[in-house]
Structure 1
Amino acid sequence: MAVIEDVRTLGSELERSYPVYIRGRLKFRVGQIIYVAFSRDESVIGFAFPREERAALVLSRPHVFDLPAVSDMRFPWVHAELAALDPTEARELVVDAWRMVVPRKLSVAYDLTHPDGPGRVRSP
């Protein structure tokens, strides 16, 4: 079971990422782009996720993942019940969301310094 503390430090340590509180909700940004946000009660994590893959993600585990509100479907975004994730999976989702908003060179540099870190795609 993941909790917000499992990803709070990670979101602050990723290059160019910084935490902000907007209307009482913790969010992580790179520049002005929000890539992770938590509900006020910290039970739901919203994160950047490729539009073309999000329906498959939600269908694979509908008790964990959910699409955003209809008004937000234009954004590449998915929600998840934080308690339904394990801490490693929660950290991987944060790193993958961060990868969507940073230049590729930062993502590659992260892989070099964190070869087994969260979000790292491993070869078989």
Structure 2
Amino acid sequence: MITVADVRALARTLPRTTEHLIHDRVKFRVGAIVYVAFSRDEQTMGFGYPKEQRNGLVAAEPDLFFLPRASDLRFNWVCCHLSRLDHAQMTELVTEAWRMVVPKFLARQRLGD
């Protein structure tokens, strides 16, 4: 099972990332833009994801992914159950969410593409 500590270890390697505790929820952001956030019980994780692709993601793996609450549907955001997430998936999701919120040159510099 993936934990906040697993995500923190990755997020600390991503340039410009800062960690915050907001309303008892751990969040990782670049500047003012949150790209990963955990539920209060740390059982689920929300992350940046293109709105136009999230329904397909949820439909492909409904036991793992789910839509955010209605008030957050306007954002590029989707959620997952940490107990069903493996390390490779977490790495890809967190890295891609980070890529969405940093300048392209920085993503290229860090990820090489």
Q: TM-score when scaled to structure 1? A: 0.87
Residues in 2 aligned to 1:87 and 1:6: alpha-carbon distance in whole angstroms: 8
Contact 1:35/1:97 (<8 A) preserved: yes
Q: 1:38 and 2:38 equivalent? A: yes
Residues in 1 aligned to 2:99 and 2:28: alpha-carbon distance in whole angstroms: 13
Residues in 2 aligned to 1:107 and 1:100: alpha-carbon distance in whole angstroms: 9
Q: 1:21 and 2:15 equivalent? A: no
RMSD of aligned C-alpha atoms? 1.1
Give the match for residue 97 of structure 1. 97
Give the match for residue 59 of structure 1. 59
Give the share of equivalent positions with the same residue, in percent. Answer: 48
**Paired residue secondary structure (1:55):** helix
Unmatched 5+ stretches in structure 1: 113-119
Moved over 2 A (4+): none
Unmatched 5+ stretches in structure 2: none
Letter in 2 for 1:62: P
Give the match for residue 110 of structure 1. 110
Letter in 1 for 2:41: D
Q: CA deviation at 1:11?
A: 1.2
Work out the number of aligned pairs and report it: 113
Give the match for residue 6 of structure 2. 6
Residues in 1 aligned to 2:91 and 2:6: alpha-carbon distance in whole angstroms: 7
